[in-house]
Structure formats: C-alpha cells, structure tokens
Chain A
Amino acid sequence: MEDGNEVVIDVKGLVRKYHSSTGILHQKRRETVAVDNIDFQVRRGELFGLLGPNGAGKTTTIKVLTTLLLPTTGNVSILGYDVVKQSMEVRKRIGLILGGERGLYYRVTARQNLRYFADIYGVPISVRDRRIEEVLDKVNLLDKADTRVEDYSRGMKQRLHIAKGIIHDPELIFMDELTIGLDPEAARDARDMTKELVADGKTILLTTHYMYEADELCDRIGVITRGKIVALDTPKGLKSLVKDTSVIEVEGFGVTERDLESLRALDGVRTVAASMCEDKQTLRVQVGDPVSLLPKVTHLLEDRNVIGMKVKEPTLEDAYLWLVREDA
C-alpha cells in the first residue's frame, strides 16, 4: 500500500525567465518572467490541477517539472529526484500527455507509434507488445490499432495521446490542456480515462483553463496567473472564496466592449467576464448585492438584445475570475 501522504512533486521557489532579443546592431534584450517564485507540493495518488488563463505560466511550469526546461532558480523534486541533476531518473518515471492536434506521427499506425515510444521509453521487449495491446484496449482503440493516425478523428488522436503517455506505465502523469479542442463527447471520454488512471493509483498533474473540468476532476487546484500561484485549495475551498458573491448571468447579442467597461464601473460590481458561443454572448457579472445591482444592469443593457438574465450562485469559475482579475 502506497503512502498517501508521500510528496511526489515538491516545488520550492521556482522561477523561470525567458530572454529574447530584437535588432541586430542595437540589440535589445528582453526578459519575461513566466513563472515567478511558486511553491507547491503534490501527494501520491492525488489529481492536482493548475488552473490559469493563457500565458499564466502553466505550460512553463509543466515543462520544468518534466525536465524539458531548466528552472532559472528554485528547486524541483519529482519522486525524490532533482529535475536538473537527475533528469534521466525523472524521465523514466513520468508520462507526458499533451492536448492539441499535434504530437503523433500521422503517417504511420497507432501500433507503430506506440511501439516506437515504448522502445525509447524503455518498456522491456518481453512485455512491449502485450503492453501495447493493454493500453490500446484501455483507450478503446484496439480495433483501429493498424490504421494510420491521419485517418483518426480528433477524439481518437487524443485517446492515442493518452496511450502514448502511459505506455511505459509511469507513476506520475502530466497532462497539459488534455481536452483542448475536443468535442463534448471526446472531452468526456478523456476525463473518464483520467479518472480511471487515478483509480489505478497514478498521480496526475493537470493543467487546464476549463473550470468544469478542474471542478470535476481535481482533488486540489492551484490557480496561477501572471506566473504566481494566487490560491491553492480544494475546489470547494476555492468556491468558498466567493461565497458572499452572487452572479448576474446575462445572455444576449450585441454587447460591446464599452458596455463591459460601463458594467465594471458600476458601484458594487466585482468582476465582469464575457464569453461567446457562436453569436450569443454570455456575461457573468459578480456582485455583492444582486437586488440593488439587477435594475442597474438591466438599465445599462436596455438597448441590447438581451434574451435572458438570472441571478446564480457562484461557481468555481467565479472564484477563478475573482482570483485572476486584472487588479488582483
């Protein structure tokens, strides 16, 4: 029986900077701090989420943890091994699953992809072919094993990504934007597979910017923005940060950037977030007192094509929006 309190990821004071330069004769050097002095720990068997907007530092963090990047300063220990000095020991024990279209050899079959990755990830030859069958079965691709990857749907490719990441039976799995670009059914399949991996005893660190995914899957979540971890708690704990907040959700068309600025300027409004699905806009206006703010919001948007407005309890998304707001 594994010790559930064993720390398998230990990050202390991690800083990662990027340097870039422009110009030839008068070269200008620019420094970007992608990860700014973060600390966190992940215990064995845990599903830990790193949640943050684009450019927050999630992928950089995962790349340092998976030995793809060196930290600028700070210490990172994975399963007791230092990512700088013992990178090969770390690589043997971890799996990396990336989201997105790329990351597979499209011109060859799933089985050929897995055989190659099994070999370079050190799967013993005596178990390799059996292991390939097992993981293909696990991700429901056994019947398509000898089909070229270029003929796969996006969801099938993502399942093959998962198979590739676990082919060497790693103890610890890193998933970067696992469900990005997937349709709802494929995303649900990917989440179900993630749950199965945790049930099999794997430890997982997942980065995402989908709130429902983090809420559904993660035991604990670190919210990262502008390179810093601004909150680290269970989903329930994070939601409690906005327990005295209500959300006015507005659905409609034709809302402008100027309207959003006007909403933000209203006294009592904490944050305003807008999302778009096809033509329809959805605004989430966080307020302390919905009773007094509802008429003001209605008045401000009276010339817009509003098709629905309701007051809701805050979700993890609202806690997240509160944490990553510009003026935080």
Chain B
Amino acid sequence: MPRLRATVSSFRHQAAMFWAEPQWIIPNVIAPFVLAMVVLMIYREPSPEAVLYAVLGGGMMGMWGNTLYASGFSIQSDRWWGTVDAIFAAPSPLIWIIGGRTIWNAFVGIVNGLFVLVAAMIIFQTPLEIADFPLFILAFVLTLLSLAALGMLFSAAFVLTRSAQVLTNGLEFPIYVGTGSMFPIFLLPYWTHPLSYSLAPTWGIDAIRYAALSDYAQGFSAGYWGDLLYMMILAVFYLTVSIWLYKAVDHRARKTANLMRY
C-alpha cells in the first residue's frame, strides 16, 4: 500500500499546487476551451446532430489538450523547483508518483471537457439529450482512465527531455485531428487511420457519442462495447509500456546524469 499512498499523495499535492498557482488555469482550462470554441464555430452547420457531434469532440479536445500539456510538465516542474533529486531518491518508484499527478491532470481535463460541453450547448443552443446516461458516464470515466494511461506514456517519454513543452505543442493538433475530435476519421487519408486507431481517446470519444446520440451513424463498427474494449486494451498497453519506460528512464537517468538538468 505505500506505493498507492504515494499515488494518492501525489494526486493531492498536484491539486494543491494547481490551486496555489491560478495561472495554470490559462494553459490547462482557458486555452483548450478557446480552441475548442473556435473549432466549434468553424464546424457549425444547420444539422443539430452535427453540432452535438462537434460539441462532444470539443469536450474531448479540452480533455486531451490538458492531459498532453500537463504530462509534459509532470517532471519539468520538479526541475524548476529543484525537487527532482528528492523525488527521484524517494523509495516510492517514480511511476507511482507521476501516476498520481497524471490522474489529477486527467481529472482537470475531464472537468474542462465538461465545461466546454456545457458552454458549447449554451452558446450553440443545442440541448444535449443523452440517449443512455449510465453508458455515457461509464464511457466518460473509462476515457478519463485511458487518458491518464496515455498521459503516463507521454510523461515517461518526457522525463528525459528538457524540451517537453516543444513536443507537447507539436503533438496537440495531430491528436485533435487523429482522434476524430474535430471531424470523423473516415474523412482523413487512409494512411492516417492506424495512428488514429492506436490512440485510446479515438475509441473513447466514439463510445461517448454512441451513448449520447440515439441515431449516431458515423461510429466504428465495433459499437459502444467494442469501443470500450479496444480503449481498455490500448490503455493497458500504454500502462505496460509506461512501466517498462519508467524502469528504463530510471536506469538511463542514473547513467547519463541528465535528469536534474533543466
């Protein structure tokens, strides 16, 4: 249980740090919100189903933008504070510590996603009539967990680089497009599909749309439960790779001495 305590404590600590620095709201909430709003305005067309499709996608963009941005900061902030030595020298493995932070970040992303959703509903005067509310909530929660798993994967890759922010900025739009948040994947070139299908949020947003829209016709053939299954398989895969990556990162950081540089 000590490892789980490290995760819970990291979640709580990340929350305390978030509230202590109100400016985090700008990149974590306001920027993804504004971006999602712009996309929604571009996307808007007479069909209310299409608007609802875009509203859900906008929410997803808010969640993803936050997860990506925050995972880039998961260890970079410790470099700034000078706490990276103490974090790395702790008997709790780094992955459990980062895990707590990533879950908090995904949680903020979810809140942000809901915020975008509600705001878009008000602005576009689109009442969201959820076709199946329990399935909607289930898909939402599982998407949160899969986002956290993807955040873990990115954060592990970002631990060794001092340029995490550059990478997160570069990855933001490809993922918005690739996951189908902006428009259906089938509109994209065929060669991009493997990338889209390898991202858990792609399946998550499709499952959310299945649960929310009664006559959702553009979804994957896997259907709601198939989407969830693929998403969870990918999330477990991300976590497995993250565990391996964090072990590799631990060894490499101790060998090359580059973890503490900033």
A88 at the binding interface (Cβ < 8 Å): yes
Interface residue stretch chosen among A65-73, A241-249, A270-278: A65-73
CA A291 – CA B259 in complex, angstroms?
A: 55
Interface residue stretch chosen among A7-15, A97-105, A181-189, A224-232: A97-105
B20 at the binding interface (Cβ < 8 Å): yes
Q: Given A70-B255, A103-B82, A112-B16, A125 and B5 touching (CB < 8 A)?
A: yes
CA A89 – CA B86 in complex, angstroms?
A: 16
B 1-41 binary contact with A (CB < 8 Å = 1; else 0): 01001101110110011001100000000000000000000
Does the CB pair A103–B92 fall under 8 Å? Answer: no
CA A117 – CA B78 in complex, angstroms?
A: 13
Q: Which residue of A lies closest to B16 (CB)?
A: A108
A116 at the binding interface (Cβ < 8 Å): yes
A74 at the binding interface (Cβ < 8 Å): no
Q: Which residue of B lies closest to A176 (CB)?
A: B85
Enumerate chain B residues within 8 angstroms of A106, measured Cβ to Cβ.
Answer: 81
Enumerate chain A residues within 8 angstroms of B255, measured Cβ to Cβ.
Answer: 69-70
B88 at the binding interface (Cβ < 8 Å): yes
* Size of interface on A: residues with Cβ below 8 Å to B: 34
Could you tell me the distance in whole angstroms from the C-beta of B192 to the nearest C-beta in chain A?
31
Could you tell me the distance in whole angstroms from the C-beta of B17 to the nearest C-beta in chain A?
6
Does the CB pair A120–B87 fall under 8 Å? Answer: yes
Contact partner, B91, options A68, A91, A116, A148, Cβ 8 Å? A91
Within 8 A of B (CB), among A32-81: 63, 66-70
How many chain B residues sit at the interface, stated as a range, is 20 to 34
Contact partner, A102, options B6, B81, B89, B259, Cβ 8 Å? B81
Within 8 A of A (CB), among B233-262: 251, 254-257, 259-260
CA A19 – CA B88 in complex, angstroms?
A: 21
B 178-207 binary contact with A (CB < 8 Å = 1; else 0): 000000000000000000000000000000
Q: Which residue of B lies closest to A72 (CB)?
A: B255
Could you tell me the distance in whole angstroms from the C-beta of A90 to the nearest C-beta in chain B?
9
A/B interface sample: 20 pairs, CB < 8 A: A19-B256, A91-B91, A94-B89, A96-B86, A102-B82, A103-B85, A103-B86, A104-B81, A105-B13, A105-B17, A105-B83, A108-B16, A108-B20, A117-B90, A119-B92, A120-B6, A120-B10, A120-B87, A120-B90, A122-B2
Q: Given A88-B91, A125-B5, A98 and B85 touching (CB < 8 A)?
A: yes
CA A100 – CA B82 in complex, angstroms?
A: 10
Enumerate chain A residues within 8 angstroms of B12, measured Cβ to Cβ.
Answer: 116
Within 8 A of A (CB), among B68-108: 81-83, 85-93, 97
Enumerate chain B residues within 8 angstroms of A125, measured Cβ to Cβ.
Answer: 5
Does the CB pair B20–A107 fall under 8 Å? Answer: yes
Does the CB pair A68–B16 fall under 8 Å? Answer: no
Could you tell me the distance in whole angstroms from the C-beta of A205 to the nearest C-beta in chain B?
14
A284 at the binding interface (Cβ < 8 Å): no
Could you tell me the distance in whole angstroms from the C-beta of B3 to the nearest C-beta in chain A?
9
* Chain A residues close to B by CB (< 8 Å): 18-19, 63, 66-70, 88, 91-92, 94, 96, 98, 100-108, 112, 115-117, 119-122, 125, 148, 164
Q: Given A91-B90, A112-B13, A68 and B97 touching (CB < 8 A)?
A: no
Does the CB pair A67–B6 fall under 8 Å? Answer: no
Closest 9 CB pairs of A and B: A102-B82, A119-B9, A107-B20, A91-B91, A92-B91, A103-B82, A70-B254, A120-B90, A116-B13
Does the CB pair A122–B91 fall under 8 Å? Answer: yes
Enumerate chain B residues within 8 angstroms of A108, measured Cβ to Cβ.
Answer: 13, 16-17, 20
Q: Given A104-B81, A119-B9, A120-B10, A68 and B89 touching (CB < 8 A)?
A: yes
Enumerate chain A residues within 8 angstroms of B83, measured Cβ to Cβ.
Answer: 102-105
Enumerate chain A residues within 8 angstroms of B259, measured Cβ to Cβ.
Answer: 68
Enumerate chain A residues within 8 angstroms of B91, measured Cβ to Cβ.
Answer: 88, 91-92, 120-122
Enumerate chain A residues within 8 angstroms of B6, measured Cβ to Cβ.
Answer: 119-120
CA A92 – CA B92 in complex, angstroms?
A: 9
CA A106 – CA B6 in complex, angstroms?
A: 20
CA A98 – CA B81 in complex, angstroms?
A: 13
B 118-138 binary contact with A (CB < 8 Å = 1; else 0): 000000000000000000000
CA A39 – CA B90 in complex, angstroms?
A: 26
Does the CB pair A105–B81 fall under 8 Å? Answer: yes
Q: Which residue of A lies closest to B93 (CB)?
A: A88
Could you tell me the distance in whole angstroms from the C-beta of A262 to the nearest C-beta in chain B?
41
Could you tell me the distance in whole angstroms from the C-beta of B21 to the nearest C-beta in chain A?
6
CA A67 – CA B88 in complex, angstroms?
A: 9
Does the CB pair A119–B5 fall under 8 Å? Answer: yes
Enumerate chain B residues within 8 angstroms of A101, measured Cβ to Cβ.
Answer: 82
CA A63 – CA B86 in complex, angstroms?
A: 11
Enumerate chain B residues within 8 angstroms of A98, measured Cβ to Cβ.
Answer: 82, 85-86
CA A116 – CA B2 in complex, angstroms?
A: 13
